[in-house]
Amino acid sequence: MAVSRRTFIEQLAVVGGLSLAVAGMEALGFGFASAQAAPPPLTGKGKGVRVVILGAGLAGMTAAYELTKAGYDCQVIEARSFAGGRCQTARKGFSHTDLIGHTQVCDFDEGLYINHGPWRIPYNHRSTLHYTKLFGVALEPFVNDNDAAYVYFQNGGGPLAGKRLRKGQLAADMRGYAAELMAKAAGKGGLDLPLSPADRDRFIGYLVSQGRLSPKSLAYGPTEGRGFDVYHGAGLDPGPGKLSAPFALADILSSDTWRALEPLGDHEQQLTMLQPVGGMDHLAKGFERHVGKLIRYDTEVQKLTQGAAGVEVFFTDKAGKSGSIQADYCICTIPLSVLQGLDVAVSAPFKAAMAGPAYAPVNKIGLQMKRRFWEEDHAIYGGHIATDIPGIDTISLPSTGWQGQKGVLLGYYAFGADAARISAKSPADRAAFAVAAGQKIFPEYAESFESAFSVSWHLTRYSQGGWAEWSDDARASAYPVLCEPDGRLYLAGEHLSYLGGWQAGAIESAWQQIAKLHARVNAA
Amino acid sequence: MAVSRRTFIEQLAVVGGLSLAVAGMEALGFGFASAQAAPPPLTGKGKGVRVVILGAGLAGMTAAYELTKAGYDCQVIEARSFAGGRCQTARKGFSHTDLIGHTQVCDFDEGLYINHGPWRIPYNHRSTLHYTKLFGVALEPFVNDNDAAYVYFQNGGGPLAGKRLRKGQLAADMRGYAAELMAKAAGKGGLDLPLSPADRDRFIGYLVSQGRLSPKSLAYGPTEGRGFDVYHGAGLDPGPGKLSAPFALADILSSDTWRALEPLGDHEQQLTMLQPVGGMDHLAKGFERHVGKLIRYDTEVQKLTQGAAGVEVFFTDKAGKSGSIQADYCICTIPLSVLQGLDVAVSAPFKAAMAGPAYAPVNKIGLQMKRRFWEEDHAIYGGHIATDIPGIDTISLPSTGWQGQKGVLLGYYAFGADAARISAKSPADRAAFAVAAGQKIFPEYAESFESAFSVSWHLTRYSQGGWAEWSDDARASAYPVLCEPDGRLYLAGEHLSYLGGWQAGAIESAWQQIAKLHARVNAA
C-alpha cells in the first residue's frame, strides 16, 4: 500500500523522536495546538526590513504573505514560470518536461484534471484550512475510504489471489471472524479479561456489534453489512434479496488482502478528507493573487552569500541574464535535494545537515477515461483501489464530477524502487503499463482510456523528489540544525516538519521561521 | 442510535424473510441485480391505456414517467400543492402545517436548507442514481462517517459518561484493546484458531495492523492513529507532537460509548454516501420537469371504486369542488397509514392486509447557526454526533457549504416514543429542547442559534408516519397480498419494499408494479 509505506517511515520518525511524556488530555481531545491553527501574530516592527524568499511554493508564499502584511519588504525568486511549487494541477495545456527530457502537454478535456502533487487536505490540517478559508478556495469532500472499492492482490496465495474483492466484504469478514473467535474464547475463559462481569458482558456486546455476530451463538455468518448476492429491493423478488456468503478466513489470510484493511492509521488519513473544487492549485492561486506581484518567475538561484550586513542572492533569468538581490534576511524553501547542488554560504555543520534526509521517488499518472465505468458498472464512487501490482500500489477514483460522462482517475501512485522503475519509461510506456495493469481489475479500462499525464517527482526539475524522508538518526542529528537559522538564512518547507509531504508542513514551517525572524528583528 | 433502531427492525425483517439459500457469488460481488438498476423495458402496447396515479411522490412520478414514455395516458392526483411526497427540502419560505395545527414558515438564509425527509442516497441504490443521472441532478458526497465526530453518552457510568469523545479515539482504543487481548491469547494457545502456522502469523499480523499494536510486545498504547494531545507539526516544537493516552477499556465499556461504533452495519449506510447539491427535492423537481403537466395538485382522493371495466377515483379540489376520473387502472402510492382512512373498493383480505405495517414516528429539526463552530472550533467537517440524550439520538452536521459563514445542522433525528414525545411540543419548544441538548456538547450552540424548522412525519398530513415498519408476521402475511394487484388497483411505494424509508424502495416498487401492469395489458 502506497500510503502505508510512507506512513511507516513517518511513524518510525514520530516514535523515534518522541521523548516527551504523553501529556494529559487537552480540552479538544485531538490536541489542536493554537500555534498550528493560525499564523503567528507579527506585532512590532518589520517595516522596511528586506527579506528575499527563495521559492514560490506554499512555504515561500506563506512567508511572503505574512511578512508583507507585517510591513516587511519581500521579494520572491521562483525558478518555474508559475507559483505553487509542488502544489500543481495538470489540466488542458499544462506542460511538463522531466529531467530525462520527456515533454508532455496535458490533453485532458476541459474541466478534467489530475492533482499530480498534493491532492488531499486532512480535516486536522488547520493551517492549510486557514488559507483555503482566507482565500475563498471552495472545498469538497475527498473520498478517502470507500467500502465498495476493490482490493486486488495477485501475489498472495489461495483462491482469492488475483480476484477483485470489495473492501467492505473483506473488512466485514475479518472483523466477524476475529470477533467470533474472541467472543467464544471470552465465554470459555480463554482470554485474560481484566473486567468486571458486567463489563465483560459489554465487551462481548461490543464484539457482537463489531463482528455482526449472532447474539445467541456468537457465530459469524452472512450479514446485511457484508452485502448481498442479490440486492434486497421491492416486492417479493428480489424482496429481501440473498445475502452473500463470507470468504473463508484462511483464504483471506493467505491472499494477503487483509493488509489492505488499515483503519485509523495515520491521523492525516482519517475522515473527513477535503480537496479544493477544481484542483489543488487553486490554493496556490489563492496565495498568488496576494503575493504574485512580489514573485520574479523563471529565475534560477545560483548562489547565496551572507555576512554581518545581509545576504545576497545571485540568479539567472530566463534569458540567461544574471543578476542579484541584496536583502537583510533570506528564507530559503528550495528542497534540500536541489539546494545541496547550489553554492550556498552556510556553516559546515549546516551544510552537512543538508544531506540528512533522503528524497522520496514518487510518481503519479492521470488517465482520462471516456466513461466513468467505475461508477456506472461497478458502483464505486471515489476512493482507492488497493493492489499489490508492483508499480501501481493505488488506483484512485475521482471525488468530483459524479455521474458525469468522463473522468480522470489516478492510474498509479507508487514510491521508492517501484516508482523509479516505472518512471524510467517514456510517458507513453508509463501509460501503457498503467492501462494494462488496471485492465486486470476493470475490464472496461483499456477500451475507455483516452489520454494520460504522468509526473515523477524525483525526475522533476526544481523538486528532485516527492518529499524529504528522515531516518531516526538524521531526525535526531541533522533536523534540529536545519530548523535553526544559519546566520541570516532560514530554511522552510515540508522538509522541516513532521508533516512530510503535506502542504501543512510547508505552511507551518514557514510560520515558525517567520516568527523566529520577526523576534530577532524586534530584539535587534 | 437513530440509525440502528431502524436498522434493527429492518434486519429482523431481512433475516425473517430470508428462506432462500444463499446463492453463489455474482460477478460484481455486491449483487446488483439488473432489475434494480434500470426501469423495466415496457415494450409492446400501452398506447391509450388510461392509468390514474394517486400521489406524486417518487413512486407515483416514477410510474407516470415510465408509463407515459411507453404510451400510456397517465393522470396523477396529488393532495399537496407540490410534488415529491416525502422528498422535501425546507428552505426560505417553505411552509408546513402539522396535524396539531402548528404552522411554520422556514426562515433560513438564502442558500441554506434542511432535508427533513430523505437526505442520503447510498451508492448501492442504483435505481435512485438512475434518475439523478437521467435528470441531471448534481451530486456531492454526504459525510456519513467522521472519525473526528463526537460521541456523547450521558446515561452510562464511569469517568467518560457525560463527556464528549472523538469517535476515532474510541474506535482506536476498542480495536486496540480487543486486538491486544486476542493477539496475546493466540500466542498462548487460548484461541481455537483453525489455521496453519503461516496463517496464524498472518492473523496476528492482521490484529497488529487493526489494533496498531506493538509488533513486538503486542501491546496497545498511544498511536498516531488515535491522535495527539499536541498535534505534530513543524520544527522542534511541536515537532513530533505528543501522542494521546488511550482511555481505559473498562471506562469505555461502562460509558456505553462503544455502542456508537457500528462499522459495516446496514449495507445502505456504507461509504460512499451521496446527496443532491442544494437539497434532496432537486430529485423530485427532476421528475416534476417531465411529469408535472400530468399532476393535478391540491386534490384529495376521497374514494375509489372499481369494476370489470375500470376504476373511478373521486376527489375534492382545493376549492372544495368534487370530481372524478375514470381510468383503466389505478396505481396508488398513498401511504397505508393514510389509505386506510379512505373509501377504497378492495377485497376483504386486501383491506385487512393494509393494516399490516406500523408507521414510524420520526422527527427532524434543522437549526440555523450563525457560525460554523463545529468546523472552526472543533474541526468536525460533516458527519454525525452520536448521543444517548433522549429525543436527540443524532446531531448531524452539514455536508455542504464547507468553511462558509453559516450552516444548518440537524438538531435531532429521533424515532418512536422519543420522537412522539418531542413532537408534541410547539415548534418553538422543540427548538428550545434541541438547542439546550446540543449545548451540552458544543458550548457555542445556544449563542450561535438563529432559526429552526422542524417536521414530525407522524404528524404530517398525507404522510402520517416516516415509513412503513413491517413485523415478521406482517411481512409474511400482509406484505405478499399488497404486492399483488387487487382487481385494477396496484399499490406502490417504499412500503412495498425491503428498502423501507428509502427513495429506492419507492422507485423500485413502482418499477415492479408497472411491469406487472404492462404485462397484463399486453396479455389482454
Find residue A263's DSSP bridge partners: none
- For residue A261, being part of any structural domain is answered with no
Residue A81 to residues A56, A85, A319, A462, Cα–Cα distance (Å) = 10, 10, 13, 12
- Closest C-alpha among B330, B353, B314, B285 to residue B137: B285
Mark whether B199 and B348 lie in a shared domain. Answer: no
B381: nearest CA in chain A? A272
Q: Are B262 and A209 inside 8 Å of each other by CB? A: yes
A207: nearest CA in chain B? B178
Mark whether A509 and A455 lie in a shared domain. Answer: no
- Closest C-alpha among A163, A164, A168, A162 to residue A148: A168
CA distance B460 to B362: 10
Q: Are A226 and B504 inside 8 Å of each other by CB? A: no
Mark whether B351 and B480 lie in a shared domain. Answer: yes
Find residue A507's DSSP bridge partners: none
Q: Which of A235, A242, A256 sits opposite B20 (nearest CB)?
A: A242
Residue A296 C-alpha cell reads as 520574479
Order of strands across the sheet that contains B322-327: B322-327, B311-316, B300-306, B343-344
Q: Are B198 and A254 inside 8 Å of each other by CB? A: yes
Q: Which residues contact A63 (CB under 8 A, 6 or more apart)?
A: A51, A53, A74, A331, A333, A492, A510, A513, A514
Cα A13–chain centre separation: 17
CA distance B523 to A379: 36
- For residue A308, being part of any structural domain is answered with yes
CA distance A359 to B404: 37
A14: nearest CA in chain B? B240
Q: Are A14 and B274 inside 8 Å of each other by CB? A: no
| Helix (H/G/I), strand (E/B), else coil: B78 | coil
- For residue A161, being part of any structural domain is answered with no
Mark whether A193 and A320 lie in a shared domain. Answer: no
Mark whether B344 and B486 lie in a shared domain. Answer: yes
Provide the shortest C-alpha distance from residue A75 to chain B (in Å). 24
Q: Which residues of A touch B17 (CB under 8 A)?
A: 239-240
Residues of chain B with pLDDT below 70 are 1-35
Cα B148–chain centre separation: 22
Residue A359 to residues A20, A348, A472, Cα–Cα distance (Å) = 27, 21, 15
Q: Which of A33, A231, A271 sits opposite B36 (nearest CB)?
A: A231
Provide the shortest C-alpha distance from residue B190 to chain A (in Å). 5
CA distance B140 to B150: 23
Query: How would DSSP label each residue in A36-102?
Result: GTSPPP--S--TT-EEEEE--BHHHHHHHHHHHHTT-EEEEE-SSSSSBTT---B-TT-EEE-TT--
- For residue A473, being part of any structural domain is answered with yes
Which phi and psi angles does B57 have, rounded to 5°?
-80, -165
DSSP H helix total and E strand total for chain B = 15, 25
Q: Which residues of A touch B184 (CB under 8 A)?
A: 192
- For residue A263, being part of any structural domain is answered with no
Give the per-residue pLDDT at A69: 97
Provide the shortest C-alpha distance from residue A359 to chain B (in Å). 18
Provide the shortest C-alpha distance from residue B424 to chain A (in Å). 33
Residue B520 C-alpha cell reads as 397484463
Mark whether B475 and B343 lie in a shared domain. Answer: yes
Q: Which of A33, A198, A212 sits opposite B238 (nearest CB)?
A: A33
Give the per-residue pLDDT at A405: 98
Q: Which residues of B touch A485 (CB under 8 A)?
A: none
Mark whether A290 and A309 lie in a shared domain. Answer: yes
Q: Which residues contact B174 (CB under 8 A, 6 or more apart)?
A: A206, A210, B249, B252, B258, B261
Taking each helix axis from N to C end, the angle separating A427-439 and A416-423, rounded to the nearest 10 degrees, works out to 120
Provide the shortest C-alpha distance from residue A361 to chain B (in Å). 22
Q: Which residues of A touch B24 (CB under 8 A)?
A: 229
Chosen from B264, B266, B283, B511 to mutate, greatest number of chain A CBs within 10 A: B264
Q: Which of A28, A267, A402 sits opposite B225 (nearest CB)?
A: A267
Burial of residue A432 (CB within 10 Å: 0-12, 13-18, 19+) is middle
| Helix (H/G/I), strand (E/B), else coil: B419 | helix
Q: Which of A33, A165, A168 sits opposite B264 (nearest CB)?
A: A168
Mark whether B349 and B411 lie in a shared domain. Answer: no
Q: Which residues contact A285 (CB under 8 A, 6 or more apart)?
A: A83, A84
Which residue type occupies B239? Answer: G
Pairing of strands A362-369, A329-332: unpaired
Give the per-residue pLDDT at B29: 46
Q: Are B209 and A511 inside 8 Å of each other by CB? A: no
Q: Which of B33, B198, B266 sits opposite A238 (nearest CB)?
A: B33
Q: Which residues of A touch B193 (CB under 8 A)?
A: 181
Are the CB atoms for B208 and A483 separated by under 8 Å?
no
- For residue A260, being part of any structural domain is answered with no
Give the per-residue pLDDT at B44: 87
Provide the shortest C-alpha distance from residue A340 to chain B (in Å). 20
B241: nearest CA in chain A? A18
Q: Which domain holds residue A100?
A: 1-20+31-40+88-155+269-278+361-466
Provide the shortest C-alpha distance from residue B195 to chain A (in Å). 7
Give the per-residue pLDDT at A18: 23
Q: For residue B234, what is the domain's CATH number?
A: 1.20.1440.240
A143: nearest CA in chain B? B272
B190: nearest CA in chain A? A190
Query: Could you list the pLDDT tens digit for every one of the 524 residues in chain A?
Result: 333 333 433 333 333 222 222 222 233 344 444 458 899 999 988 989 999 999 999 999 999 999 999 999 999 999 999 999 999 999 999 999 999 999 999 999 999 999 999 999 999 999 999 999 999 999 999 999 999 999 999 999 999 999 999 999 999 999 999 999 999 998 787 787 889 999 999 999 999 999 999 999 999 999 999 999 999 999 999 999 999 999 999 999 999 999 999 888 888 999 999 999 999 999 999 999 999 999 999 999 999 999 999 999 999 999 999 999 999 999 999 999 999 999 999 999 999 999 999 999 999 999 999 999 999 999 999 999 999 999 999 999 999 999 999 999 999 999 999 999 999 999 999 999 999 999 999 999 999 999 999 999 999 999 999 999 999 999 999 999 999 999 999 999 999 999 999 999 999 999 999 999 999 999 98
Chosen from B10, B121, B271, B378 to mutate, greatest number of chain A CBs within 10 A: B271
Q: For residue B397, what is the domain's CATH number?
A: 3.90.660.10
Q: Are B185 and A191 inside 8 Å of each other by CB? A: yes
Last residue of a domain, one of B459, B482, B509: B459
Q: For residue A312, what is the domain's CATH number?
A: 3.50.50.60
Mark whether B230 and B119 lie in a shared domain. Answer: no
Q: Which of B35, B138, B147 sits opposite A264 (nearest CB)?
A: B147
CA distance A304 to A185: 67
Structural domain count, chain A: 3
Mark whether B341 and B373 lie in a shared domain. Answer: no
B209: nearest CA in chain A? A262
Are the CB atoms for B324 and B283 separated by under 8 Å?
no
| Helix (H/G/I), strand (E/B), else coil: A454 | strand
- For residue A9, being part of any structural domain is answered with yes
CA distance B333 to B56: 8
Mark whether B179 and B248 lie in a shared domain. Answer: yes
Q: Are A249 and B195 inside 8 Å of each other by CB? A: yes
Q: Which residues of B touch A242 (CB under 8 A)?
A: 18, 20-23, 31
CA distance A26 to A1: 33
Give the per-residue pLDDT at A35: 55
- For residue B212, being part of any structural domain is answered with yes
- The whole model's pTM is what? 0.93
Q: Between A and B, how many CB-CB pairs are < 8 A?
A: 417
Mark whether B352 and B477 lie in a shared domain. Answer: yes
